[in-house]
Amino acid sequence: MINKISPSIAAALEGTPDGATVLIGGFGTAGIPSELIDGLIEQGARDLTIVNNNAGNGETGLAALLKANRVRKIVCSFPRQVDSHVFDGLYRSGKLELELVPQGNLAERLRAAGAGIGGFFTCTGYGTELAKKADGSLKETREINGRMHVYEEPIHGDLALIKAECGDRWGNLTYRKAARNFGPVMATAAKKTVATVHRIVELGQMDPETIVTPGIFVSKIVQIPRVATQAGGFKS
């Protein structure tokens, strides 16, 4: 019998290796799997490459993972905001590597990984610093229909941490509104996906037409209580 329900976050994250590439869902604080991030801190993996839309808010969630010095590199589209002081300090001191990726490119690079696409050409970023590789060399370019495009490679993950709304023992998932964001594409792009859910229902109770992430892309689910999401990215 297939049963992907994990008794605890610690059990779900067991075996996460040092040096792993971890895809973390969330758009600001919406859909951020804070409980899984806290579990990853407790698990102890180091030298991680983190892929997320942001680079942490305040000192909780992703910012806490950065502050614990567990991250070697972060790949994101929106690293700096008024409450990103943890990232700011680490980056300015040279303790954290940054790969800046336009938001649409980030989503498409993740989707490409999940779809088995070797890469794609896009006009976004052409002619800018974003069209360079980490070593400073230029990415491949090509003219398509009279416009110049730059070649982008897929982003594969060893582990994806996502926050969903509802799941069943097969790992099928639905999401709550904007909390969905990068979760579905990250689930397809990772070797292992762990999701938190607020509700677990019996197999067959989820309408197949409403399932967003099929269980084939999910390794473990963990039920957590619902708590209020605190807004991030600004100061009151």
User: pLDDT tens across 181-203, in order?
Assistant: 999 999 999 999 999 999 999 99
pLDDT confidence band for 15 (50 / 70 / 90): very high
Is a pLDDT exceeding 90 seen at residue 51?
A: yes
In CATH, the number for domain 17-119+154-223 is 3.40.1080.10
Tallying the residues shown for the chain, one arrives at 236
Share of the chain above pLDDT 90, in %: 86
**145 φψ region: left (φ > 0), alpha (ψ -120 to 50), beta (else):** left
Among 27, 75, 82, 25, residue whose Cα is nearest residue 48: 75
In single-letter form, the type of residue at position 87 comes to F
pLDDT single digits (tens) 220-234: 999 999 886 665 554
pLDDT single digits (tens) 129-144: 999 988 889 999 999 9
pLDDT confidence band for 29 (50 / 70 / 90): confident
- Looking at residue 83, what is its pLDDT? 84
Query: DSSP for the chain?
Result: ----B-S-HHHHHTTPPTT-EEEE--BTTBT--HHHHHHHHHHT--SEEEE-SBS-BTTBTHHHHHHTT-EEEEEESB---TT-HHHHHHHHTT-SEEEE--HHHHHHHHHHHHHT---EEESTTTTSGGGB-TTSPBPPEEEETTEEEEEE----EEEEEEE-SEE-TT--EE--GGG-TTHHHHHHHEEEEEEEESEE--TT-S-TTT-SB-GGG-SEEEE----PPPP-SS--
What is this structure's pTM?
0.94
Are 42 and 15 within 8 A, CB to CB? no
What residues does each domain of the chain span? 17-119+154-223
- Looking at residue 234, what is its pLDDT? 46
